[in-house]
Amino acid sequence: MRLFSSFRPVLGVLLAGTLTLTQTPSQATNHALPEFTALVAENGPKVVNISTKQSPAKPQGKGKRVPGNPVPELPDDSPLQDFFRHFFGDQGDSGGAPGDDEQSRSLGSGFIVSADGYVLTNAHVVEGADEIVVRTNDRREFVATLVGADTRSDIALLKFDAKDLPTVKIGSAKDLQVGEWVLAIGSPFGFEHSATAGIVSAKGRSLPSENYVPFIQTDVAINPGNSGGPLFNLDGDVIGVNSQIYSRTGGFMGLSFAIPIDVAMDVFEQLKAKGRVSRGWLGVLIQDVTRDLAPAFGLPQARGALVAQIMPDSPAAAAGILPGDVILSYNGKDLPISSALPPLVGTTPVGQAARLELLRKGQPLTVEIKIAELPDADQSTDGSDDSDAAGETDKPNRLGMVVSELRAESRDELGIEQGGVLVAAVKEGPAAQAGLLAGDVVLMLDNQGVDDLAGFNRILESLAPGRAVPVLIQRGDGRMFYALHIPKS
């Protein structure tokens, strides 16, 4: 189970005495809670436990295994370490260092999607495994083969030899409602076939380093070992694959995330057919349009995906998309935030044309673009800050920063083909307020390319006082727009 770090203490107050509530007839209406017993009885046999063996040379995760017991790896500072030692002890732990031939075990969950033994789970459950063992509800164990794994969606497909297996009913997350009841079945901490329930907290969540999955957020109690298990709606349809939790302790803290089954089944079909997954690719690096940036790009409110960089030899470059363009919709689907774009592009068939509605320098524009296949590795360039630039002066400009020419060798190191000026120092003023730092390279100012120091100063002098203008900077190997407020005097 992947973990995110966050913690906020919750204080409970116990009040003694009698509390009388006054309710209106509508408030007093008795709404029956959902009944899960039939759903669990029907679907429990379709959920499997997954254990893996791997050599110490192939570590899986950064946690710590409780010795002598088939429980998952936990963070070193997790209070659950004491919990498991209390109930299970330290059986099998000799107290010494493990031998070179000792193999570790990890636990996860999965569910059967075909009667002949195909199982879906998380890619991180089986990552680096030397052997994968699937245990069914009736205690049978099978050695499974890894058909394929897709790390970008965190989905893996397993296959073991069996016939006439019970299979889950595949649903869809498209019509899922926030507040809807959902149920998870899995093996938290190795306790097989545990059922937990809750509601859908949000849809379309974007998580760090997970650009292609619009996660379902729930408050279902998900813990290490639940990874790869199914998330059901009340009709008994699988609508998600439990994948991640937001936690500092290693245990459930009220935020769980599931991969929509629509995404998982697309990956399943591709892995089954060819053992790998192909995704659509535009070739742009994007960012959110913030409240400060919106007026600088002629938007009445913050929305859309702001293009910060165009990858070379990409579909976006071929279609003429430019840094500073704001993508407002993709194939007719509005983009309220930038994170809504990658899943739409990723699920577009390679070679298919897509229609983008843009805003360029305040003017609407429609662009047709042919989607290419996402490269296996991210296309990026390594860069470093330049501290030895030519033409540096100590006098800050009206933005409160000192800029200088960018050396050719530094431009090559940063992967900048042409133009740009170096921010040598940032003093008090609009640049510091916007978040610019020494070492940044200014590539565009007010949607105009910066060729050199003279060009930068010419654009700066033309800016009317009181305006908010966008500035595109490169920091390391990443690019980002900021909003600069030109001082009135």
| C-alpha torsion sign, points 133, 75, 264, 232 | positive
| Residues 230, 335: Cα–Cα separation, whole Å | 29
φ, ψ at 432 (rounded to 5°): -65, -40
User: Is 81:74 a contact under the CB 8 Å cutoff?
Assistant: yes
Residues 6 or more apart whose CB falls under 8 angstroms from that of 307 comprise 284, 285, 286, 316, 321, 322, 323, 324, 325, 326, 327
Per the structure block, which two tokens stand in for 315? 């579909």
User: Is 325:317 a contact under the CB 8 Å cutoff?
Assistant: no
User: Is 245:227 a contact under the CB 8 Å cutoff?
Assistant: no
Q: Which residues of 58-93 are buried (b: 16+ CB within 10 A; e: fewer)?
A: eebbebebbbebbbbbbbeebebbeebeeebeeeee
Q: Residue holding tokens 């100012």?
A: 445
| Residues 242, 237: Cα–Cα separation, whole Å | 14
Note if 150 is an active site residue.
Answer: no
DSSP lists the bridge partners of residue 210 as 207
**Active-site residue (options: 227, 329, 339, 410):** 227
Q: How many CB atoms lie within 10 A of CB 98?
A: 13
Across the chain, which distance is largest between two alpha carbons, in Å? 79
Report the candidate in 67, 46, 52 with the shortest Cα–Cα distance to residue 225.
Answer: 52
Estimate to the nearest angstrom the gap between the alpha carbon of 104 and the chain centroid.
28
**Active-site residue (options: 154, 266, 292, 446):** 154
**Active-site residue (options: 78, 106, 124, 325):** 124
Per the structure block, which two tokens stand in for 477? 């190997």
CA 313 vs CA 320, 375, 424: distances in Å: 11, 12, 31
| Residues 172, 348: Cα–Cα separation, whole Å | 18
Note if 154 is an active site residue.
Answer: yes
CA 389 vs CA 86, 198, 404, 424, 485: distances in Å: 61, 58, 7, 8, 26
Note if 82 is an active site residue.
Answer: no
Residues 6 or more apart whose CB falls under 8 angstroms from that of 50 comprise 107, 108, 109, 110, 119, 121, 125, 126, 132, 133, 134, 135, 144, 158, 228
Q: Which residues are catalytic?
A: 124, 154, 227
